[in-house]
Amino acid sequence: MATTYEFPSDLLAGQEELHQVRAELSALLKRLPWSVEPMDGFSDDTGWRKVERPASPGWTEDEQAEVEKLRRREHELAVFVSTHRFWAEVAAADRMDARSRLKHAHERAAEEE
């Protein structure tokens, strides 16, 4: 039988917010132009595959600030989750399994509802 872990509520909340921030950042980056700075488009077929990019108007200051804010929050949450006091209570040999279970705890909670 698989080991179950009693994750503290603040650790679960931190992991859930980390998932949300990463999803929000990913969605934002997909919407933004490919280049932060304005760049001309290009086409290159000399490599092993053809690469094409349209001209990029670059990111606005607001877009750059939003990306920076999300990246900063992502970093804060990643540090919080990975250095949480709970990990000291888990045997070193079990930490990888516990960390994996924490990452998917929100999926299991949704299945149980």
Model confidence pLDDT, tens digit, residues 54-75: 999 999 999 999 999 999 999 9
What residues are paired with 53 via a beta bridge? Answer: 42
* Residue 1: per-residue pLDDT: 47
What is the reported pLDDT for 12? 97
Decide: 83 and 76 in contact? Cβ < 8 Å: no
Mean pLDDT by 10 residues, the chain (113 residues): 85 97 98 96 91 95 98 98 97 95 82 62
Q: What pTM was computed for the model?
A: 0.85
The residue ranges of DSSP E strands in 4-96, in sequence order, are 42-44, 51-53
Q: What are phi and psi of 71, to 5 degrees?
A: -65, -40
Tell me how far apart the alpha carbons of residues 11 and 71 are, in angstroms, rounded to a whole number.
19
Spell out the domain ranges in the chain: 9-112
